[in-house]
Structure 1
């Protein structure tokens, strides 16, 4: 097949005119493409250019980059642009959106420096600065950065040190909701034919609560309905009876976790368990969130017929993870929770 881009400008124009003339004589575009050794897409594009702009649409234009694309970014321009990408969101610079894309960066380059760069060139600059496209972590506006810093630098290190002195265990606790209509992810299928997966007509759900340690331990319960103090204290009772060490339990500020009934229950067993709260609006600091995502992903691949089958699938998966301590330890490998790995 001929690659028109490798021909001279005059040869490209001649090829285009011969191709459209052949189509104009009554041959199909596919037949002409085969005869001249070009792609059907090229033939279609040249015919459109003829319809839109007449004979001028087939003329060979000036080759090479446009004048505004000739210049490369200077070191100073690159430094300014990199600071913007790392230190601000697009909407803070009057650009639409919350995440940086090559298009957003290109618009900023054009606005600041009057230079238009291709997406490929912008991608090379971004990677040259040590950046890569990544899915952002969502963080609540209400989060207090000072409280997070205090937790990472002072509060948690003190909890961990106490647990080591006491020969105790640090466990992280969280709960999650599981739904029958969770997204199942992508599936391979013929192009243009979206696969159809059967599902129950009625939506239903179940909930799971789990506690994990950076040693690979996993304890859980699966229940229906909202989290109550009875469910919470029942789980903690099984936890304290199972472990022969004092437990330092790290949890978020869920109302049930902070309820008077739970506080009184823990106070009566202060020699066995102590409850610590993460900073508000900081789920990314809890490694159990990664276990929750893992459980939801598994359940989404099944097809439970009712809430009891859904709960059974969750229990089966969590029991499997109980027997895979290395997989549980791996939940502490993400950057946001790596502080809790030791």
Structure 2
């Protein structure tokens, strides 16, 4: 492959990864135009404080039972820290603003990869679904979103099951951060439940952890970073 073509492919890959990582996350208070003290809301300052508290931590850090952050554990932390109840609707608004929640496969692809993802859904995904059923495994879709409006910057790593269950964590981004091994182990749970994890273009294969337990199976969603060179 010539130098010009290789450089062009590298530029396309870089653009696609920025598109995937830099998507929808935003501080919810700014997006919703909330006023401090409204029922079921946090002020912008409280939300930023919450994000900092969540950064790099898991629920068990605070004596909560979930392996990864969920709506329930997030509600418990908000109640404990701010003495304010947030119901499922309120929490859902924050998580959607942060980029956490179900997304269609095509929404996880950059504009150049949509056709490949749609073919993958028709051809490859049914086999993954059958394998998960045979193993009694849960299917999760995992991705990363850059959360705008925070200082320092924050990435939201989330896994959404085929049944809509949400698990997430917040990290401080670094240069080309790998897919977190600990996140995958916690996704499987203390009981070691089998999981099939579909990884979007946030992480190319070279950034996947090696020698994972057999109960964790990773599947790449097509992305420009994984296209086979001619």
Pairwise TM-score range, normalised by the shorter structure: 0.3 to 0.5
Higher share in strand: 2
Q: Which has the larger radius of gyration?
A: 1
Answer 1 or 2: higher relative contact order, Cα 8 Å, separation at least 6: 2
